[in-house]
């Protein structure tokens, strides 16, 4: 006949064996294990078989609509508004549409917040040859380049001035004068009110700026 000590020893071994079987039972959920005071199952890394789709020019859209955000080294200045000015309220900003056209490259139009007549081209203009160019909204159904007089004084206006990286959202502006001088220094005017592009000899008093597309 077994002594009490031997009986307890055997019972303890039986309980341990049962617990081991429970712990090894893969059908128990973690909720069931918690109710029984058992350790949670070891997480299992499951590798999917879905193939990642890379972003490439072949699968990007051909048009984008959004705002132009203007920043300096100290932070965000605002969104581009009519007349090359800035606003912190997107409702008062221009909605810009970038469209890749096989015939004319990148067309940039204002689709809202421009004036009474939207769908106008957005470009740069200056009244001084080789001078600072300011962002303009040009009332034209097609891209414009050259001298015009419909804004009160003779001015050189250009719309094919934008560069746009659809992946990063970065924007660039390049103005070319009638003498062939090209410059792409994006600046904020000396009074802090307008977005300009300035030649190297007219940077004094202006502030370097970066522009970025913000989709809506």
What integer pLDDT is reported at residue 177 of this predicted model?
A: 86
> Is 49 a residue whose pLDDT tops 70?
no
> Is 52 a residue whose pLDDT tops 60?
no
What integer pLDDT is reported at residue 138 of this predicted model?
A: 79
For the whole prediction, is pTM greater than 0.75?
A: no
Tokens of 68: 């132009």
CA 103 to centroid of chain Cα atoms? 26
Say how far apart CA 59 and CA 210 lie, in whole Å. 27
Tokens of 199: 């030649």
Instruction: Compute and round to an integer the Cα radius of gyration of the chain.
Output: 33
What integer pLDDT is reported at residue 45 of this predicted model?
A: 43
What integer pLDDT is reported at residue 203 of this predicted model?
A: 95
Q: Please indicate whether residue 155 or residue 49 has the higher confidence score (pLDDT).
A: 155
Least confident of 12-26, 135-149, 179-193: 12-26
Instruction: Give the residues across from 102 on adjacent strands.
Output: none
Q: Please indicate whether residue 214 or residue 8 has the higher confidence score (pLDDT).
A: 214
What integer pLDDT is reported at residue 53 of this predicted model?
A: 40
Quickly state the pLDDT bin for 62 (edges 50, 70, 90).
confident
Where residue 200 falls (left for φ over 0; alpha for ψ -120 to 50; beta otherwise) is alpha
Query: What are the pLDDT digits (tens) for 151-196?
Result: 667 788 888 899 988 888 899 999 998 888 899 999 999 999 999 9
């Amino acid at each position: 006949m077994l002594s009490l000590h031997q009986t307890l020893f055997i019972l303890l071994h039986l309980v341990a064996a049962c617990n081991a079987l429970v712990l090894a039972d893969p059908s128990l959920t973690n909720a069931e294990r918690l109710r029984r005071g058992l350790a949670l199952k070891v997480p299992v890394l499951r590798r999917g078989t879905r193939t990642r789709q890379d972003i490439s020019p072949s699968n990007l859209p051909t048009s984008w609509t959004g705002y132009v955000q203007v920043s300096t080294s100290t932070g965000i200045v605002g969104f581009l508004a009519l007349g090359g000015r800035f606003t912190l309220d997107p409702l008062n900003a221009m909605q810009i549409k970038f469209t890749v056209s096989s015939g004319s490259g990148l067309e940039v139009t204002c689709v809202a917040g421009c004036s009474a007549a939207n769908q106008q081209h957005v470009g740069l203009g200056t009244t001084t040859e080789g001078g600072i160019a300011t962002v303009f909204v040009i009332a034209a159904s097609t891209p414009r380049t050259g001298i015009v007089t419909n804004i009160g004084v003779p001015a050189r206006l250009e719309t094919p001035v934008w560069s746009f990286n659809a992946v990063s959202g970065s924007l660039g502006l390049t103005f070319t004068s009638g003498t062939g001088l090209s410059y792409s220094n994006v600046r904020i005017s000396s009074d802090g009110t307008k977005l300009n592009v300035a030649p190297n000899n007219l940077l004094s008093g202006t502030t370097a700026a970066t522009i970025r597309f913000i989709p809506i």
